[in-house]
Structure 1
Protein backbone atom coordinates (compact mmCIF):
# COMPACT_ATOMS: atom_id res chain seq x y z
CA UNK A 1 0.00 0.00 0.00
CA UNK A 2 1.25 3.48 -0.81
CA UNK A 3 2.18 5.78 2.05
CA UNK A 4 1.40 9.47 2.40
CA UNK A 5 3.17 11.97 4.64
CA UNK A 6 1.09 14.82 6.05
CA UNK A 7 1.59 17.52 8.66
CA UNK A 8 -0.88 17.91 11.52
CA UNK A 9 -1.07 20.20 14.51
CA UNK A 10 0.74 18.49 17.40
CA UNK A 11 -2.02 19.25 19.92
CA UNK A 12 -4.56 17.63 17.62
CA UNK A 13 -2.46 14.49 17.27
CA UNK A 14 -1.83 14.27 21.02
CA UNK A 15 -5.57 14.54 21.67
CA UNK A 16 -6.24 11.76 19.16
CA UNK A 17 -3.56 9.61 20.80
CA UNK A 18 -5.16 10.10 24.23
CA UNK A 19 -8.70 9.45 23.00
CA UNK A 20 -7.66 6.38 20.98
CA UNK A 21 -5.43 5.08 23.77
CA UNK A 22 -2.56 4.66 21.33
CA UNK A 23 1.05 5.59 21.98
CA UNK A 24 2.09 6.21 18.39
CA UNK A 25 0.93 9.28 16.46
CA UNK A 26 0.91 7.27 13.23
CA UNK A 27 -1.23 4.50 14.74
CA UNK A 28 -3.62 6.98 16.37
CA UNK A 29 -4.31 8.90 13.18
CA UNK A 30 -4.61 5.67 11.19
CA UNK A 31 -7.16 4.34 13.71
CA UNK A 32 -9.25 7.50 13.39
CA UNK A 33 -9.20 7.35 9.59
CA UNK A 34 -10.11 3.65 9.56
CA UNK A 35 -12.97 4.30 12.00
CA UNK A 36 -14.25 7.16 9.85
CA UNK A 37 -14.27 4.94 6.76
CA UNK A 38 -15.96 2.06 8.60
CA UNK A 39 -18.62 4.42 9.95
CA UNK A 40 -19.32 5.62 6.42
CA UNK A 41 -19.76 2.04 5.22
CA UNK A 42 -22.11 1.25 8.10
CA UNK A 43 -24.18 4.34 7.32
CA UNK A 44 -24.40 3.37 3.65
CA UNK A 45 -25.54 -0.14 4.62
CA UNK A 46 -28.23 1.19 6.98
CA UNK A 47 -29.57 3.59 4.36
CA UNK A 48 -29.63 0.84 1.76
CA UNK A 49 -31.48 -1.54 4.11
CA UNK A 50 -33.97 1.17 5.03
CA UNK A 51 -34.67 1.99 1.36
CA UNK A 52 -35.04 -1.62 0.16
CA UNK A 53 -38.56 -2.25 1.57
CA UNK A 54 -39.81 0.91 -0.15
CA UNK A 55 -38.34 -0.20 -3.46
CA UNK A 56 -39.80 -3.70 -3.08
CA UNK A 57 -43.21 -2.23 -2.23
CA UNK A 58 -43.05 -0.02 -5.31
CA UNK A 59 -42.25 -2.93 -7.62
CA UNK A 60 -44.69 -5.35 -5.96
CA UNK A 61 -47.77 -3.31 -6.90
CA UNK A 62 -49.12 -4.05 -10.38
CA UNK A 63 -49.64 -1.03 -12.61
CA UNK A 64 -53.20 0.35 -12.63
CA UNK A 65 -55.41 -0.99 -15.39
CA UNK A 66 -57.87 1.38 -16.94
Structure 2
Protein backbone atom coordinates (compact mmCIF):
# COMPACT_ATOMS: atom_id res chain seq x y z
CA UNK A 1 0.00 0.00 0.00
CA UNK A 2 1.28 3.46 -0.86
CA UNK A 3 1.76 5.81 2.06
CA UNK A 4 1.13 9.54 2.11
CA UNK A 5 2.65 12.05 4.49
CA UNK A 6 0.29 14.71 5.82
CA UNK A 7 1.21 17.62 8.05
CA UNK A 8 -1.28 18.38 10.84
CA UNK A 9 -1.55 20.91 13.61
CA UNK A 10 -0.25 19.37 16.86
CA UNK A 11 -3.53 20.07 18.69
CA UNK A 12 -5.50 18.32 15.97
CA UNK A 13 -3.22 15.28 16.18
CA UNK A 14 -3.56 15.19 19.97
CA UNK A 15 -7.36 15.40 19.72
CA UNK A 16 -7.36 12.51 17.23
CA UNK A 17 -5.12 10.50 19.57
CA UNK A 18 -7.45 11.11 22.52
CA UNK A 19 -10.55 10.25 20.45
CA UNK A 20 -9.08 7.01 19.17
CA UNK A 21 -7.27 6.01 22.37
CA UNK A 22 -3.90 5.56 20.67
CA UNK A 23 -0.42 6.78 21.56
CA UNK A 24 0.71 7.34 17.99
CA UNK A 25 -0.53 10.29 15.93
CA UNK A 26 -0.24 8.24 12.75
CA UNK A 27 -2.36 5.42 14.16
CA UNK A 28 -4.88 7.91 15.51
CA UNK A 29 -5.39 9.66 12.19
CA UNK A 30 -5.64 6.34 10.37
CA UNK A 31 -8.30 5.06 12.78
CA UNK A 32 -10.32 8.27 12.63
CA UNK A 33 -10.26 8.25 8.82
CA UNK A 34 -11.20 4.58 8.61
CA UNK A 35 -14.13 5.19 10.99
CA UNK A 36 -15.25 8.23 8.99
CA UNK A 37 -15.21 6.25 5.75
CA UNK A 38 -17.02 3.29 7.31
CA UNK A 39 -19.77 5.59 8.62
CA UNK A 40 -20.21 7.07 5.16
CA UNK A 41 -20.59 3.63 3.64
CA UNK A 42 -23.12 2.58 6.28
CA UNK A 43 -25.13 5.74 5.65
CA UNK A 44 -25.13 5.10 1.89
CA UNK A 45 -26.30 1.55 2.51
CA UNK A 46 -29.21 2.73 4.68
CA UNK A 47 -30.30 5.71 2.62
CA UNK A 48 -29.21 4.75 -0.87
CA UNK A 49 -27.50 7.00 -3.34
CA UNK A 50 -28.60 9.60 -5.88
CA UNK A 51 -29.49 6.95 -8.48
CA UNK A 52 -32.00 5.26 -6.16
CA UNK A 53 -34.48 8.08 -6.77
CA UNK A 54 -34.92 6.91 -10.35
CA UNK A 55 -36.22 3.54 -9.21
CA UNK A 56 -39.06 4.97 -7.12
CA UNK A 57 -42.39 5.50 -8.84
CA UNK A 58 -43.14 9.12 -9.62
CA UNK A 59 -46.20 10.31 -7.73
CA UNK A 60 -48.15 13.35 -8.82
CA UNK A 61 -47.83 16.28 -6.48
CA UNK A 62 -50.65 16.51 -3.94
CA UNK A 63 -49.77 20.03 -2.83
CA UNK A 64 -52.44 22.51 -3.79
CA UNK A 65 -51.99 26.23 -3.75
CA UNK A 66 -54.60 28.39 -2.20
* Higher radius of gyration, 1 or 2: 1
Aligned partners of 2:7, 2:24: CA distance in 1, in Å?
Answer: 15
- Runs of at least 5 residues in structure 2 that lack an aligned partner in the other structure: 58-66
Quote the residue 2:25 is aligned against: 25
Quote the residue 1:3 is aligned against: 3
TM-score (normalizing by structure 2): 0.72
Tell me the CA shift for residue 19 of structure 1: 1.4
Q: What SS does structure 2 have at the residue aligned with 1:29?
A: helix
Aligned: 1:42 with 2:18: no
Number of equivalences: 54
- Runs of at least 5 residues in structure 1 that lack an aligned partner in the other structure: 59-66
Cα RMSD of the aligned pairs, angstroms, is 2.0
Q: What SS does structure 1 have at the residue aligned with 2:11?
A: helix
Q: What SS does structure 1 have at the residue aligned with 2:37?
A: helix
Q: What SS does structure 2 have at the residue aligned with 1:40?
A: helix
TM-score (normalizing by structure 1): 0.72
Aligned partners of 1:45, 1:19: CA distance in 2, in Å?
Answer: 25
